[in-house]
Structure 1
């Protein structure tokens, strides 16, 4: 039996496998395609050998720290996306493009990986034991076996059964909900949450054409253009050049829907060249044309993605997608489950990091009163308290949902989020104080300065990111909740409302901190009295 079976060999699955391998943990990684990378896809130009990204490409160092750090760890270089020059807009088929001003550039400081984003995939794959990597494996069914999980896999046309302690589905939630048979079946609300998560790029197509030279730059253009007329082939165009050897290229996202793209497939290179010339004028003929229609990729695009077409990409996924199912034996991953930058490479890495934390926490040795080598009673108590906070923090959202549903059932209409959040936080703090009371802290000799015990800030540390994550989860949950769609102020939290809630939570935190400090100071008096 394998410890962790990872389904999906895109960035999330590979990054999670790398974290498990680093810790010496047992895993198997299954990918349905015959290549690794998922929606990261780079192809080489035959003429120049340079890489062209037809899937994920850009990243933003100022707001994507996980990917930025990973590139550093892997020793990969990047370069700035070309953004200098005029931006063009074409609203009518027979008109002349107009110049528009875009403050800060269209791409806002984006960078690309030297050699293509596929370099990330290749570097991660080299970190993994090759015997644990399996291509051409389609997952057909997942069954809960009470203390393990059973996977039914179609591997290269043959049926294979794999048993695992846990399974991670590192693939788009819509695809998992549509393709995999779960036994027992997921409840209706969970399936709906999965169906409501749009898959990044699923209904889109991306194309790149290479040229002998970047003639548009010579004319003072950035290569960025937006086209909105009815005959548009591309609705967004960008400079896709590789600066290493002067390889010039223009790329774009097609404006046509999946059916229309298929109908014009044979003539697309000519149509793309025509639109490039219409926008930028006087371009030489393209040297090579590259095209990827993600709607035709069965391991990316679900039927629902194809039906709905382009949808608004949410920056944070519904937090219910981040809840482990089947008593921690089934985890949902992939970029669409990210609590930040969902749909981007950063979201995939955040999801991998979250699941790795869950696995390491769930499989840590039983926490008991025994002291570790060189550890005193207070260090042991703080360790156990930290573990308690980490285990209980995910339950904040569940408690919030129960309180919110109770308010809705009682037909309450005002301050729904505020009341539910504050109630959950106050209950959590009360439980935390009770947990502190149960631990054998030894306060003799602990410094007290200006009325504050030195233990107080140490006991506060585990809460560092808990409240922020709770705020983020509530905002994401509310924005995707059908029950709150009739309550605009609760569905999309306004900044002023959030500030009111934050003041309430800050007051509850202050009260908790004072009670915590009073507990440590009172213990000093109690122990001093006992000693007398």
Structure 2
């Protein structure tokens, strides 16, 4: 049985739109993810009239919590926050949302060449996979080289790096061929790549990867690859009690139902004199400024008059979404904890090659979340949920033993098939894109402004980056009034 009741359903009646209306506001905001809602928060705080137009029947964008029949909640979208993610941590505190540590006690599972071994998360050999010494040395050297390159990046303009063209014309795959020729070192980098980007190394520009690493920090904390991949001290360190989507739901409730229209996909943005006419299904908005708070490829589906600059349009044609899904198995209890396991996995085979324990803090039931990413997700986009469940169960049995055979329920989320997402967690940069087109990510066009986590200098691809982008466009607009 699939367990999937959107948590936001309870607030939809309070945020429901009244279609067939025409409004006039200072700013129309397209998209009710954290980037759009953050822009709305900043603008409304200084008295600007706003309306947020959201295509879905809920707020949150690529954050989606699902309520289980037992009263629990699991995150099928963004699920973790961590150190140096200042803006999302500040928002959680402002909304009085409590965080708790991601379960990280015991040993992780390494599945390699059909065999399972475990290794501790703490201690003198903590969080180091049990691979050969030569492979570990190669892994460490490659990681150090990437971090060193990241230190040289201007996070606001990676394309200004002296070797930007060379780095941007190199795939991450070809760089890894030279940096990690040993099979064990390479496999760990491959898993890290798909886990971070939901894309294969061959799809990514080396410049994009290095810039993404550089973004994993803040103005005082340099980004590192370790911060992207780690649980303790990294991007997966903490969770929010009751689910991550509360960030969006509570922020939307503060804005009020009159400022948010759901089920309102925007079709056209047209200049009319000194304002814009924004046309959504059943709603027409007139606004002095427009915020496009969407991923670039989806933003390209809107008709703009006058046309956007060619560089912006070319950019949106070249930034694909990653391919990602989550398969979450629900158990009566987190049995792997009794076996001394964290629930975290690194694997070289199967459809799930990384996994996490996303059970509630009190461990009152078990929830194993398996990431299905990149090539593995694309193979399953058109398969039945029953087939996905079977294949994920086989993986979980390999990783956690025969107790994994009997989940009491499932939640399957395929972001590739979501009409208003078409993948995730981020639109990534293939070779040649950053150096030629990336300045258009943030450059406004007349009264149209572009937000979204892809445009953030810090924590690109994360909730923190989404919030930063919304705050940036709000400042742009206020400076223009």
TM bin, normalised by shorter chain, reads 0.5 to 0.7
Structure 2: gaps spanning 5 or more residues: 1-23, 121-125, 129-225
1:138 to 265, 270, 278: 265
Q: How does 1:468-479 map to 2 (within 5 A)?
A: none
Q: Which residue of 2 aligns with 1:84?
A: 105
Distance 1:53 1:205 in 2: 12
Distance 1:289 1:311, change over 3 A: farther
1:165 and 2:288 aligned = yes
Matched ranges for 1:276-355 at <5 A: 276-284=396-404, 285-301=406-422, 318-326=438-446, 329-355=447-473
Could you tell me how far apart the structure 2 residues matched to 1:358 and 1:237 are? Answer: 40
What residue in structure 2 maps to residue 473 of structure 1?
none
Q: By how many angstroms is 1:237 displaced? A: 0.8
Tell me the secondary structure at the aligned position of residue 350 of structure 1.
Answer: helix
- Select 1:107's aligned residue among 231, 248, 253: 231
Structure 1 residues 19-418: aligned runs within 5 Å: 19-47=42-70, 49-60=71-82, 62-92=83-113, 94-97=114-117, 99=119, 102=127, 106-109=230-233, 110-155=237-282, 160-177=283-300, 179-199=301-321, 202-229=322-349, 232-244=350-362, 246-255=364-373, 256-284=376-404, 285-301=406-422, 318-326=438-446, 329-363=447-481
Task: Note if contact 2:380-2:388 (Cα within 8 Å) is conserved in structure 1.
Answer: no
Count of aligned positions: 345
The DSSP-based 3-state class of the residue aligned with 1:66 is helix
Higher relative contact order (CA 8 A, sep 6+): 2
TM-superposed CA distance for 1:347, in Å, is: 0.5
Q: Deviations over 1:163-197 (max 9, x none)?
A: 210110111011111x1111122232221223344
CA drift of 1:216 comes to 1.3
Maintained 8 Å contact 1:210/1:289:
yes
Deviation per residue, 1:205-258 (Å, 9 max, x gap): 0121121222212112111111222xx120111111111352221101115233
CA contact (8 A) 1:151 1:161 kept: yes
Closer/same/farther in 2, CA of residues 315 and 18 from structure 1, 3 Å limit: farther
Query: Aligned pair in 2 of structure 1 residues 309, 76: CA closer, same or farther (>3 Å)?
Result: closer
Partners of 1:245 and 1:138 in 2: CA distance: 39
Q: 1:153 to 1:128 in 2, by over 3 A?
A: same
Return the TM-score normalized by structure 1: 0.61
> How far apart are 1:146 and its partner, in Å?
4.2
In structure 1, list runs of 5 or more residues that go unmatched. 364-532
Q: Which 4+ runs in 1 deviate beyond 6 A?
A: 308-312, 314-317
Contact 1:319–1:339, Cα closer than 8 Å, also in 2: no
CA–CA separation in structure 1 for the residues paired with 2:48 and 2:428 = 40
Whose helix proportion is higher, 1 or 2? 1
2:23 is equivalent to residue 3 of structure 1 = no
SS at match of 2:353: strand
Question: Equivalent residue of 2:476, what SS?
Answer: helix
Distance 1:332 1:227, change over 3 A: same
Alignment TM-score, normalising by the size of structure 2:
0.67
Q: 1:128 to 1:275 in 2, by over 3 A?
A: same
Q: Rg: which structure is higher?
A: 1
Matched residues in 1 for 2:259 and 2:94: separation?
A: 22
Alpha-carbon contact 1:97-1:279 (below 8 Å) kept: no
**SS at 1:58 equivalent:** coil
Question: 1:356-379, CA deviations, whole angstroms, 9 ceiling, x for partnerless residues?
Answer: 11122212xxxxxxxxxxxxxxxx
Query: CA separation in 2, counterparts of 1:38 and 1:209?
Result: 23
Q: Secondary structure at the match of 1:254?
A: strand
